[in-house]
Amino acid sequence: MDVKSGYSSTVHNRKTEADRQREQGDDKLYMSILRGKARNLMHRQNWQEVSLAEVVNRFAPGASPIVKGNKIHYRSLDGAIDVLVDIGGGYLRIQDLKHSTRKRPEYLDLSGHNPRYTIIDGKKVQIMSPEQYNPITHFHVKHMPQIESRKDKH
């Protein structure tokens, strides 16, 4: 299955699961998906639009989707990069797993660099605030008609 159809079916399945859990009194996944959608609506105008398939093929070729909560992970085969897609928000980030910690994840721009830091006199120096960093490390997933057509059927 290609990235696009895998993503579409995974999103559909997770939203269906969120609805099922909500009917049973557990709205944790449902609310998480809604928060992603709200982030998208609030910040989308600041994010570059990208093709999910192109990003996955560049940073994690051959990766299979791994679903955790409201995220889909496409981890590179060497375990260095994780393309994280927010199901509700329809956006992605490219995480540098080699330099991330649990408390401080590090994200890359589309060129594969971490724009937060630069090297000055041999030392790693932070040069960007979160307000500068986030718009260049969040990417809106291009419209996928397959997802929209499934929404219309419900």
Regarding pTM above 0.85, the answer is no
pLDDT at 148: 43
d(CA 35, CA 142): 19
Q: What is the mean pLDDT of residues 91-105?
A: 92
- Give percent of the chain with pLDDT exceeding 90: 65
**Is there a domain that residue 152 lies in?**
no
Q: Of 15, 109, 127, 105, which is closest to residue 67 (Cα–Cα)?
A: 15
**Is there a domain that residue 154 lies in?**
no
**Is there a domain that residue 153 lies in?**
no
Q: What distances in angstroms separate CA 20 from CA 10, 112, 113, one per listed residue?
A: 15, 38, 40
Give the residue numbers spanning the domain of 38. Answer: 3-145
Report helix, strand or coil for 79: coil
